[in-house]
A and B are shown apart, each in its own frame.
Chain A
Amino acid sequence: MPRSLRARKLENAVGLAVIVALAIASVLPLIHILYMVIVRGVEAIARIGLYRFLTEPPHPFDPQNPGGIGPALVGSLELSGLAIAVATLIALPASVLIAEFRGSRISRGTLLLALTLVEFPTILVGLTVYAVLVDHVVGGYNMLAGAVALTLVILPYMAVQASEALRGVPEGVREAAYSLGATRLKTVYALIAPAARRGILVGILIGLARAAGETAPLLFTVGGAYEGYHLCLYKVGGAVPLMIYQFIQMPYKPAQDLAWGAALVLMTIIVGVMLLARLLVKEVKIL
């Protein structure tokens, strides 16, 4: 027997309400996280002033003068800058291969490899780089290992993202270029890639956000040194997320405050990058 219309309408109302409630519940944590990071972060940064917080080294045991996150911030810039540069240089040709030879076994294999690596636990990347670069090549924690680990973490994502951007370029562009006698290399890098530049740039931006925020790949690679500016690639160094992880576990108030201030700086960078990506394209694909 068919159910009455009234029962179905009631079910509809209740069902939709539950869906909306659950959806709101799933985004509430983020709003609270943002609120907490802003409140505690501002409190920590205001104590010393923004400029000094961003430039001075930390004094995690000194309540009078807690210092700032200068060395960690510079370390993060160095690591993410290197990672982005190298990852782009490898991800772009990989994505061209995926997009240009669509349907071939090599394209599908490369895409499957990249998709698998995207979701790979980043701690494993960190351990692998530790085994090769820290344990065998350099013989101690070093910034180079951190940069390599971050590169490997963001590389597959950037390759997938760029290949999707390239796939969206109309075939007509290629046909026009070929008919004018352009080589394939020229067609792809002078016409197709520029046409897909927004999507590729978004991939680079999201890669940058990830490189700036990842902690696990740095745990066993860069070591964590914050007293002075360590820029040498073969020596220990620090980064903002790693500093947050290490300082929040210290039983000292100044150290924990520094962690919250660093978290606010990190979140500001992430939000800025995300907004920039959003300006470039309507749909940002995180996965």
Chain B
Amino acid sequence: MNGGPLSRLLRRVRGVRSRDDERFLLLHLPASLTLLLVILAMLGVFIAYSIPVISREGFHVFTDTTWRAVEGDPQAEWYGLLPAIYGSVYTSLIAVLIAAPLSVSLAVALEELTPRRLRGSLSLLTDLMAATPTIIYGLWGLAFLAPHMYPILSWLSSHASWIPLFSKHPSSGYTIATAGVLLAVMSTPFAAAVIREAYSMIPLSIREAAYSLGATRLEVIRILLGMVKPSIVAGLALAFARAVGETVAVSLVIGNSMTITPSVTDSGVTVSSLIASQFGNAGFYHYMTSALFAGGLVIFAIGLAVNVAAVWYMKKWEEKVMGVAP
């Protein structure tokens, strides 16, 4: 091993100084490669499975609104994912808009305003909120949230229908608004956790300086929140990505109808809820499975872009605040 090309390659890794280190690194490389392989396999599968529908419809599969499944006649089939892509982005945006004030308040309340004695049990509650399976949220959305959103949305649509958001009278509680609210509830603890972590890293001296200048508590909170702004952005971005990928809870409350509407009181569909509801039948058609994988490719792209950006952004900020050079 010594002096060979492999050894020279391994020696270039920082922290590898001896043959013992080389062996150690070599032994641990497969685990790291597994992670790389998983991402590549996912990308490969989604591209390979999307090819049939893309080669038939071209990019219309992403921009068309028609969803036509015809059994036994592949030539008549046509799949447009735009309503689902629109629904994914729309519901996730609603979720982030609602989750933003909630998660910032939750983070500040836990870090700043909760008495020390209560902090433990309260943070256990938020941990539990993040650990609660999405299917449980879905169950609650289906049995409680949707039926209780219905009268509110009906009232809004009959009294404020001049606002495009409420232009359609809801036919049930299973609407875009319900999905947005449910997603907001689900993603708040995650965004709050990101914000909290950054907030707790701010040096005590800054807080002391602000108080010594006579700042009120709220003013101190404002100053500190200004400092963790990047973490708020990153936390909400992660919440958005999470909402885009959320499947079972959304598919139980959104109503699953392929429409594009600005009205949140109407039912809709998201890419993942479309996959969840259609995948079981997709085998009966020639191109539907491929179309659903093409939808997966869209969430893949959104998820990857948002995640990488958020993680990178946070790391940069952490390095700046903590004064650690990369």
Contact = CB atoms under 8 A, between A and B. Distances in A.
B113 interface: yes
Contacts of A220: 279
B105 A26 contact: yes
Sorting the interface of chain B by its residue count into under 10, 10 to 19, 20 to 34 or 35 or more gives 35 or more
Interface stretch (A53-61, A64-72, A123-131): A123-131
Interface in A115-140: 115-117, 119-125, 127-128, 131-132
A227 B274 CA distance: 28
A101 B16 contact: yes
A219 B41 contact: no
Interface string B236-261: 00100110111110001000000000
B76 interface: no
A286 to B, nearest CB: 4
B103 interface: yes
B245 A124 contact: yes
A145 interface: no
B307 A116 contact: yes
B194 interface: yes
Nearest to A97: B28
A283 to B, nearest CB: 8
A124 B293 CA distance: 9
A26 B299 contact: no
Interface stretch (A17-25, A43-51, A165-173, A229-237): A17-25
Contacts of B127: 274, 278, 284, 286
A152 B194 CA distance: 23
A102 interface: yes
A182 to B, nearest CB: 10
A26 B100 CA distance: 11
Contacts of B326: 103
A188 B24 CA distance: 10
Contacts, number: 282
A179 interface: no
A174 to B, nearest CB: 11
Contacts of B110: 23
A270 interface: yes
Most buried by A among B124, B132, B238, B307: B132
A12 B35 contact: no
Please list the 9 inter-chain residue pairs (A to B) with the smallest Cβ-Cβ separation, ordered nearest first: A121-B245, A213-B133, A23-B109, A22-B105, A93-B31, A94-B31, A104-B14, A15-B218, A12-B216
9 contacts: A11-B216, A18-B105, A26-B103, A26-B106, A93-B30, A128-B41, A212-B133, A213-B131, A284-B127
Given A93-B28, A248-B139, 19 more contacts: A11-B218, A16-B218, A19-B221, A25-B102, A26-B188, A30-B125, A37-B136, A94-B35, A97-B32, A100-B15, A106-B25, A113-B39, A115-B311, A116-B308, A119-B307, A127-B275, A183-B20, A213-B131, A216-B276
Interface of B: 13-16, 20-21, 23-25, 27-32, 34-36, 38-39, 41-42, 45-46, 48-49, 101-103, 105-106, 108-110, 113, 120, 122-140, 142-144, 185, 188-190, 192-194, 216-219, 221, 238, 241-242, 244-248, 252, 272, 275-276, 279, 292-293, 296, 299-300, 303-304, 307-308, 311-312, 326
